[in-house]
């Protein structure tokens, strides 16, 4: 739906990281920094510079790659849910969404990482557990959860205000023909 000025209506939802995620992120970044400093010191002691640079590259690139997909915010428009990230945004058409509901924190406990990041900047990727089955997580915390169900996929997100997100989605669904 367009506003009076012809702009698409959108609602932005923050997604802050919880303390545990911050601790994991900072700890990993400190370890990687320490490894890279050690490698740099080794370079200055005439160890093969190619090997040293490969180690620095091999430890830094995966970290940057993971952080590229961590959610920065969630945006609901009249037509889409956008999971905003440093990398390419994940866009889901609202008309493909069957159900949106708040999710109890216990529903993701015991999840297995099938192809996922579990704490560096957030929790992103493909997970599975007995309660939800397979789902795609786009989380920055392990609470404030919202389940988004499509016909063949499930997403779990973590807006700071999950009830407001569910209410906004339901209002937008009513406006969509």
Asked whether the beta carbons of 52 and 58 are under 8 A apart, the reply is no
Total number of domains in the chain: 1
* Residue 1 pLDDT exceeds 90: no
d(CA 77, CA 66): 26
d(CA 39, CA 56): 7
Q: Which domain holds residue 41?
A: 1-177
Q: pTM score, two decimals?
A: 0.86
Question: What's the pLDDT tens digit per position in 40-84?
Answer: 787 767 666 777 778 788 888 888 888 899 999 999 999 999 999
Strand partners, 112: 128
Higher pLDDT, 49 or 165: 165
């Amino acid at each position: 739906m367009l506003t009076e000025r012809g702009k698409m209506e959108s609602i932005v939802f923050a997604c802050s990281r919880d303390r545990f995620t911050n601790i994991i992120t900072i700890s990993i970044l400190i370890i990687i920094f320490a490894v890279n400093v050690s490698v740099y010191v080794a370079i200055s002691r005439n160890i093969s510079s190619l090997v040293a640079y490969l180690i620095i590259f091999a430890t830094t690139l995966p970290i940057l790659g993971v952080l590229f997909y961590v959610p920065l915010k969630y945006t609901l428009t009249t037509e889409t849910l956008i999971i905003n990230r440093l990398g390419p945004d994940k866009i889901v058409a609202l008309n493909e969404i069957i159900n949106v509901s708040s999710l109890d924190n216990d529903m993701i406990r015991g999840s297995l990482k099938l192809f996922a990041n579990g704490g560096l900047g957030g929790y992103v990727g493909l997970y599975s557990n007995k309660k939800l089955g397979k789902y795609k997580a786009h989380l920055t915390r392990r609470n404030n959860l919202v389940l988004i169900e499509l016909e063949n996929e499930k997403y779990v997100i973590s807006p700071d205000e999950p009830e407001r997100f569910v209410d906004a989605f339901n209002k937008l669904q009513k406006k969509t023909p």
